[in-house]
A and B are shown apart, each in its own frame.
Chain A
């Protein structure tokens, strides 16, 4: 059909990095989903062990300043971090996708204005957009998620516009237009199925960036608030124990790295598959 379809042959020749990334991601998602069953303690329970205890058999990741079990907190924190990531990506992709399609299939003036604004916003790092929005909206998990979602909009709008514009230039679209197919139906029936896969791949890329933004916001005290065991929030409250109990900083940090790494590995390789012409833009 079209060049964006991932065929069985390309799947078989998937590079090792994709397999590694997918494996890791599945593991992390499973751990997050099963966290209530896997966590040895209630993540909020204080004095589950001695305060600031180093990793041991009883507490594999050690305990924090309240004697809460860090392994349980990191596991439950995964649910929060992944949840924020998914919510932000889905809503960001929905809004950004719509804007991108609108830009691709509207008149010249609307297109020019939309693209200009999208481009302006796209030239700023998404973490920074999220930061600025949260500054005005106020801290908290909902506001942070909303801010991260909006921060992803320019990226998704740009990508969708690119894909949709390329699709629109194809002869069959022109043929459909000549045949009198209305724009709405055109997008729904012809354009979406063809660019959908690529958008999903881009979704995974936005996902890792969303996780990083969420951790950064919480670390600065602008995102998820303690005692919620979000990874960035654990790092923020543990930073003063850096000399006394470095494990509080170590494990949530590693969790963030592995999660972001797994989705980057998947996204990067798949991006090369769906968009062979792309240059080294992040």
Chain B
């Protein structure tokens, strides 16, 4: 860390000796241009849940707590925290001297105001249920007290996630929202679907264990450009128009072998890709049919061909590396690839090559996914299941799914989706009735999911395993891959120190760019 500073200083001295003042200012301002495929849709951290938006809000705002690679909880805006014995009251001590980008002070009262806004029904916060059963909060001195109606095991994990930013009250003091936070970067300008320009926060103080740099980011300016076409992004990286890009899957493998480039893959993505069924519609109400379809899915081919070998197959309905996830255990519950056995099951149910089962394969667009679904279609055809692919954009897709998942008749559908988080509690978000896009199951599973929220430690892990076992033995969920979207970045060799955190957050605090 100090090494970089002394190097910069040295460079500054030599530069000052040689060039004019104008040249000097450009030589010392460290700048990084990032190119992504999509823009953020909202910089109000309580009004968005998509990865591209949260990647930006996470740079502007801080979280109350942070998480290390091993899942342990560390200080964030709160320097200390404690929980009452009954697990229903949390006290967070807000660190002294935290200032917002506009100069105002971030204290316990500000934290309370932000929390209140996150929970206000009028905010329409998409992550509301993940905040837990909060009934009230109070700010006293530098302590924020939060009370819950019942114990909520995932609470502190959630408070480290990019879905739980704390914003300065000046952000939402007026009708027009202004993104003002305490994070490492502040917003300079935003031209929708074109670019977001951020500037370093000179007063930044870091506590995130994933980050080395304790203070102001080395970069002065950070620009996010939107370049939807993968080909164009790759060309921008090669020509130097951009320093860091979301690579195209097709070329990421080539970049890996090229010493002029670096490829970063998020290890802590918390992402999970799975296939699910409209199990209320015949014949998918039959677990054997669902199992047969699961057995036909060649996950190794999806990973190696559709995703060019850049992802792994996953066994659990929750991503690897998260609390309690045990890949070996899950493997013993779930189906294994066996097209012959699957075909036999289908034929036993009366579906032959001449009389195939017709289903829809409902999916949304993402790199790699499109290819995966085409292979999947062939896999299903091999067991006499004729699947018609219907692709939608993400938002339209989930809109459609919430309608389809409620139907009890009509054409049966197999569908795929991805979910990410920092805690297996996203099972609750997905499967507890009515569930995400109405994918909730039944009373039994609801009970399991409710109970795990109230427990902690091994008891909670056991309950989560029970829920996972239920989902997999009845083949409601077929886990496919992890990670699955936006987890890859690529840069030129001169970029150093770039990291990816939980839920593919982008960490720029340690980034330096060599001349």
Please give the residue numbers on chain A whose beta carbons come within 8 Å of chain B beta carbons, in ascending order. 44, 46, 51, 65-66, 139-140, 221, 225-227, 237, 239-244
Contact = CB atoms under 8 A, between A and B. Distances in A.
Contact of B251 (A225, A237, A244): A244
Instruction: Give the bracket for the number of chain B residues in contact with chain A.
Output: 20 to 34
Interface in B209-240: 229-231, 234
A124 B305 CA distance: 43
Given A239-B229, A240-B231, A46 B378 contact: yes
Interface stretch (B369-377, B451-459, B498-506): B369-377
9 contacts: A46-B375, A66-B371, A139-B391, A140-B390, A226-B370, A227-B374, A227-B389, A240-B251, A243-B234
B145 interface: no
Contact of B390 (A65, A225, A237): A225
B347 interface: no
Interface string B391-417: 110000000000000000000000000
B257 to A, nearest CB: 14
B370 A240 contact: no
Given A227-B377, A239-B231, A51 B389 contact: no
B250 interface: yes
A226 B251 contact: no
Given A65-B250, A240-B250, A243-B231, A225 B378 contact: no
Given A221-B391, A227-B389, A240 B248 contact: yes
A65 B251 CA distance: 12
Given A140-B390, A240-B251, 5 more contacts: A66-B374, A225-B389, A226-B374, A239-B229, A244-B250
Given A44-B378, A225-B391, A242-B231, A66 B370 contact: no
B282 interface: no
Contacts of A243: 231, 234, 251
Nearest to A68: B374
Contact of A66 (B231, B248, B251, B375): B375
B229 A65 contact: no
Contacts of A241: 250
B365 interface: yes
User: Which secondary structure characterizes the binding site on chain A?
Assistant: loop
Contacts of B375: 46, 66
B231 A51 contact: no
A201 to B, nearest CB: 37
A226 B389 contact: yes
Shortest 4 CB-CB contacts between residues of A and residues of B: A227-B374, A240-B250, A240-B230, A240-B248
A217 to B, nearest CB: 13
Interface string B24-59: 000000000000000000000000000000000000
Given A65-B250, A242-B231, A221 B389 contact: no
B458 to A, nearest CB: 45
Q: Which of A221, A237, A240 has the most CB of B within 10 A?
A: A240
Nearest to A228: B389
Nearest to A67: B305
Nearest to B396: A138
A234 to B, nearest CB: 12
A226 B391 CA distance: 9
A243 B251 CA distance: 9
A244 B250 CA distance: 8
A188 B248 CA distance: 59
Contacts of A44: 378
Contacts of B391: 139, 221, 225-226
A237 B378 contact: no
A228 to B, nearest CB: 9
Contacts of A139: 390-392
B360 to A, nearest CB: 11
Contacts of A66: 305, 371, 374-375
A18 B249 CA distance: 46
Contacts of A65: 250, 305, 371
A225 B250 CA distance: 20
A237 B370 CA distance: 9
Given A226-B389, A241-B250, A221 B365 contact: yes
A242 B367 CA distance: 15
A258 B251 CA distance: 31
Nearest to B231: A242
Contacts of B234: 243
A3 B225 CA distance: 61
